[in-house]
Amino acid sequence: MLNLFRIILISVFFTLTLNASSYTFNKNKFDEARKSYTKVLGYDNRSKEIKYLNQMVYYGTKLNKKVYKYKQELNRLKRYTKIVKKKVTTKKQKKKSISKYSIQSVIQEKNQITINFNKKISKKDIRYFKSKLSKSYRYDFDIKGKFKDAKPTKLSMSNIDKIKIVQYRFNTLRISFFNKYKVKPIYIIGYKKIIIKIKGKPQSKVSKIIPNMFKRNIKGIKTIVIEAGHGGKDAGAVGPRKKYEKTVVLKISQLLYKELKQKGYKVYLTRNKDRYVSLRYRTKVANKRNANMFISIHANAARKNRAKKARGIETYFLSPARSARAKRVAAKENRGDVSSMGWSSKNTFLTVLNQGKITASNKMAIDIQKNMLYSLRNKYGKSTIRDGGVREGPFWILVGAQMPSVLIEVGYISHSSESRRIYTKTYQKLISKAIANGIDSYFLKN
């Protein structure tokens, strides 16, 4: 009996010792996990939070502690991690599906190629360069994007010997033009498309004996006359710090002249210095040159009580005015008109205007206004450049022109900040390029 009692005592002792050491071990582990969990809380490291919470639940259960709160937090973290992983995967999948083929289509219509994108594009998405080969000229357009049908697509133009389209690099589509004679490539960037057109046809010996007028028609070269408003004794509107309308519109007209020349157009200015030119002479130049387009450049102005608010760019085409605003602007621009045509004669003329000319002028005004807004807003922001819209108005400077014609108000010279901007070289270059692009756009469509 004594021996049995001793054995029981020894076994109880060992059990108590074992339990004590096990309790100590579990308690130490629980305390370590709790300290580590507290430390990682400030670093937003969810994987480690989950690790230490798991340990706290495991060792806490062995210690008979209440671990309900730890389990709750653990489940919340696990659910959150699953949601985040799902969102990240979905975003990646979406990005892949969108960016895989950024070019939707390449379409050829007559002598122009249109590249349609599934995203907004800018000048950064296209590079143009030319080179002289041994027996021909090469013109390359590198377009940022991937086109799945690059290989099977075939392109051809009547004035180009050969066109090649390849997916040059993973994210670069190259369209190359090869021709024996020099041509003039132009491109227009829209919201989600690029239009490429090649101006000019191969010259032959026969073409040398054709009169100039017919030669121009064969080449498809358009003639444009630019009229810089006012001049000389007629200063036009006067802005803050004696800034004259006649000065700024002449500078913009001269820059526009250079832009259009570079694009391959025949261009004429009604004045290239500060001098007064009669209304009859201005339209006579356009009619004598058999121009395809007449552009009149002006700067707007508002009365003193509206000078702080009135701003924006506008494009007008000749038509009987349908709004009080158009009449006010027309009255300002018509002030310098010394033509012998009286008000009643002009009004009669407006009522019998050729509808075809009005329609063409309206289309041209829309393209120019759209390109000006796009270019200027990219530089100065949408809120800064106000859209005055395309409007009809009885501008006498446009009356005598026998071709589609528009009058552009490049901004308000009476507005303090807009006046300063209009007088900067940056603004003048931007708006002249935008007008040139608008003219390109009009001729490509019509």
Higher pLDDT, 88 or 158: 158
Q: Give the CB-side neighbour count of residue 111, counting CA atoms within 13 A.
A: 18
Specify the pLDDT at position 201.
57
pLDDT over 60 (residue 153): yes
Tell me how far apart the alpha carbons of residues 408 and 337 are, in angstroms, rounded to a whole number: 17
Which pTM does this prediction carry? 0.52
CATH assignment at residue 188: 2.60.40.3500
Specify the pLDDT at position 268.
96
CA dihedral 272, 360, 186, 390 (to 10 degrees): 70
Tell me how far apart the alpha carbons of residues 407 and 414 are, in angstroms, rounded to a whole number: 18
Inside any domain, residue 8: no
Inside any domain, residue 41: yes
Inside any domain, residue 181: yes
Cα separations in angstroms, 428 against 1, 281, 351, 372, 431: 116, 26, 36, 11, 5
Which pLDDT tens digit goes with each residue over 195-210?
Answer: 998 886 544 433 333 3
Inside any domain, residue 268: yes
Q: Domain check: are 373 and 256 in the same one?
A: yes
Which pLDDT tens digit goes with each residue over 226-246?
Answer: 999 989 999 999 988 888 999
Cβ-proximal residues to 46 (8 Å cutoff; 6+ apart), any chain: 77, 80, 81
Cα separations in angstroms, 265 against 154, 156, 187, 220, 224: 29, 24, 14, 9, 7
Specify the pLDDT at position 39.
67
Q: Domain check: are 145 and 65 in the same one?
A: no
Print the domain residue range for 118: 103-199
Lateral strand order in the sheet of 126-132:
126-132, 137-144, 172-179, 162-169
Tell me how far apart the alpha carbons of residues 222 and 292 are, in angstroms, rounded to a whole number: 6
If you average pLDDT over every residue of the chain, what do you get?
A: 79
Q: Domain check: are 268 and 366 in the same one?
A: yes
Q: Domain check: are 153 and 35 in the same one?
A: no
Q: Domain check: are 146 and 165 in the same one?
A: yes
Tell me how far apart the alpha carbons of residues 400 and 403 are, in angstroms, rounded to a whole number: 9
Specify the pLDDT at position 50.
84
Inside any domain, residue 205: no
Q: Domain check: are 328 and 252 in the same one?
A: yes
- DSSP code of residue 338: -
Most confident of 65-74, 318-327, 363-372: 363-372
Q: Domain check: are 154 and 283 in the same one?
A: no
Q: Domain check: are 249 and 383 in the same one?
A: yes
**Residue linked to tokens 């009449």:** 327
Q: Output the CA angle 280-282-284, nearest 5 degrees.
A: 65
Inside any domain, residue 6: no
Q: What is the mean pLDDT of residues 402-421?
A: 93
pLDDT over 50 (residue 309): yes
pLDDT over 60 (residue 141): yes
